[in-house]
């Protein structure tokens, strides 16, 4: 037997095995690429088989660590021990507590710091801006729904006597239908005055003027608005409740408007609109939180707490100046001038929005 010629190809063990498999199956790959593709196809799992351990059970992507790089799901067993579930729950609670501890000091006492941290990419340790906004919105409008027009007060005055405290609790807890009807805000007048105004509006065709559509449409709309306006005067609590229920929608629409005004004020800075929107979320969230605290303190019988409530409700103005000065890196005087202009335009737009809100509350009563 002659030895193989120098330079001739020598079969490796893997090549012999693959060649043997191909002969057994009756198929021989004529091209190395086809052989490689066939090998990969034979190793790929069938759709009916279970997901391999090195693939994500949620999206099927290849795992390269404890979490999926595509969907973020943790690579864990389908069935986990009870202690593992308890541990995950505790981790979630602790993580939320840590986010609260990191978020609220900057949010309340360092204007603009939270926005700057978030824009600069340090986000993991803080509550997300939109969640913070939703939380403070829920607080504010819940307190408004409880306190607006009800005349309820909490006996927090340290100089109040026990008898006076008991009387206050009885008045707050035992309100009858007659008291509820008479508990409208004082600027709306007494029930007798409101009834007189309601009759005057309902019976006077010129009390409401509509300039939409043809004569028949105008007459029909004017008649409906007169009836609804009279009903709102007779039942001011329903009108106020309707405004409070729909108030969050108006304020939500004001968020992008506020951000757009900021974009115009700082158009030369080249900042992205989303940065102004994040700032808008944080500023509105602080304002809602301050108004909530002010409303609660205003329901007390303590004079100094009510004074503190007034200052707290004014704090968003000063907060906005410092926040804009820090986030947009401008001097205090320039920031103050821009805040005044911003609030002037914002107040006009908000007033228009509140007028539409009042109209909707009247029509939908």
| Concatenated DSSP letters of 53-106 | TTB-TTT-PBP-SSB-TTT--B---SS--HHHHHHHHHHHHHHHHHHHHHHHHH
Q: What is the rounded distance in angstroms from the CA atom of residue 22 to the CA atom of residue 37?
A: 14
- What value does the CA radius of gyration of the chain take, rounded to a whole number of Å? 34
Q: Could you say which DSSP state residue 206 is in?
A: G
- Cα 322 to chain centroid, rounded: 23
Contact 310, 294 (CB under 8 A): yes
Q: What is the pLDDT of residue 197?
A: 81
pLDDT, tens digit, for every residue of 196-225? 888 888 777 767 777 777 777 777 887 888
Q: What is the pLDDT of residue 308?
A: 94
Q: What is the rounded distance in angstroms from the CA atom of residue 236 to the CA atom of residue 230?
A: 10
Report the percent of the chain where pLDDT is more than 70. Answer: 69
Q: What is the pLDDT of residue 47?
A: 45
For the segment 275-287, the average pLDDT, to the nearest whole number, is 98
Residue 180 has pLDDT above 60, yes or no: no
Q: Is 222 left (phi over 0), alpha (psi -120 to 50) or beta?
A: alpha
Contact 297, 143 (CB under 8 A): no
Where are the alpha helices (H) located in the chain, listed in sequence order?
A: 13-25, 32-43, 82-109, 113-119, 129-147, 162-173, 177-181, 191-203, 215-234, 236-265, 273-298, 303-327, 332-363
Report which of 155, 158, 154 is spatially closest to residue 146, judged by C-alpha positions.
Answer: 154
Q: What is the rounded distance in angstroms from the CA atom of residue 157 to the CA atom of residue 344?
A: 38
Q: What is the pLDDT of residue 24?
A: 40
Tell me the torsion sign for CA atoms 43, 48, 50, 54: positive
Side-chain half-sphere CA neighbours of 225 within 13 A: 18
Cα distance between the two ends of the chain: 107
Can you give the pTM of this predicted structure? 0.69
Contacts of 251 (CB under 8 A, 6+ apart): 137, 284
Report which of 308, 309, 315, 307 is spatially closest to residue 295, judged by C-alpha positions.
Answer: 309
Report which of 121, 136, 125, 106 is spatially closest to residue 323, judged by C-alpha positions.
Answer: 106
Residue 234 has pLDDT above 90, yes or no: no
- Cα 55 to chain centroid, rounded: 35
pLDDT, tens digit, for every residue of 28-62? 444 555 555 555 544 444 444 454 567 888 888 88
- Cα 349 to chain centroid, rounded: 21
Q: What is the rounded distance in angstroms from the CA atom of residue 66 to the CA atom of residue 75?
A: 5
Residue 351 has pLDDT above 80, yes or no: yes
Residue 90 has pLDDT above 50, yes or no: yes
User: Would you tell me how many other CB atoms lie within 10 Å of the CB of residue 168?
Assistant: 17
Q: Which two tokens stand for residue 241?
A: 């409740």
């Amino acid at each position: 037997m002659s030895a193989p010629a120098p330079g001739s190809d020598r079969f490796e063990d893997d090549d012999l095995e693959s060649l043997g498999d191909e002969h057994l199956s009756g198929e021989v790959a004529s091209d190395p690429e086809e052989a490689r593709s066939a090998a990969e196809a034979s190793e790929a799992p069938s759709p009916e088989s279970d997901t391999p351990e090195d693939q994500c059970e949620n999206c099927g992507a290849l795992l390269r660590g404890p979490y999926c790089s595509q969907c973020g799901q943790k690579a864990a067993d389908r069935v986990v021990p009870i202690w593992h579930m308890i541990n995950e729950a505790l981790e979630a609670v602790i993580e939320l507590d840590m986010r609260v501890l990191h978020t609220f000091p900057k949010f309340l006492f360092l204007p603009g710091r939270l926005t700057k941290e978030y824009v600069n990419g340090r986000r993991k340790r803080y509550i997300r801006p939109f969640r913070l906004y939703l939380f403070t919105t829920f607080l504010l409008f819940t307190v408004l729904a409880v306190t607006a027009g009800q005349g309820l007060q909490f006996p927090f005055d340290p100089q109040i006597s026990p008898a006076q405290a008991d009387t206050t609790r009885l008045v707050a807890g035992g309100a009858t239908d007659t008291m509820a009807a008479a508990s409208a805000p004082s600027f709306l007048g007494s029930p007798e005055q409101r009834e007189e105004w309601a009759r005057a509006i309902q019976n006077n065709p010129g009390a409401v003027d509509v300039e939409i559509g043809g004569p028949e449409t105008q007459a029909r709309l004017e008649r409906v608005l007169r009836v609804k306006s009279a009903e709102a005067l007779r039942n001011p609590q329903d009108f106020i409740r309707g405004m409070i229920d729909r108030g969050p929608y108006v304020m939500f629409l004001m968020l992008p408007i506020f951000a757009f005004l900021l974009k115009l004020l700082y158009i030369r800075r080249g900042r992205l609109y989303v940065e102004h929107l994040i700032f808008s979320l944080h500023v509105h969230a602080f304002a809602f939180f301050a108004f909530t605290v002010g409303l609660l303190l205003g329901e007390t019988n303590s004079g100094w707490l009510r004074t503190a409530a007034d200052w707290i409700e004014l704090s968003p103005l000063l907060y906005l100046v410092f926040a804009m000065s820090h986030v947009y890196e401008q001097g205090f005087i320039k920031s103050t001038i821009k805040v005044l202009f911003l609030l002037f335009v914002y107040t006009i737009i908000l007033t228009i929005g509140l007028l539409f809100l009042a109209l909707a509350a009247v029509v939908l009563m």
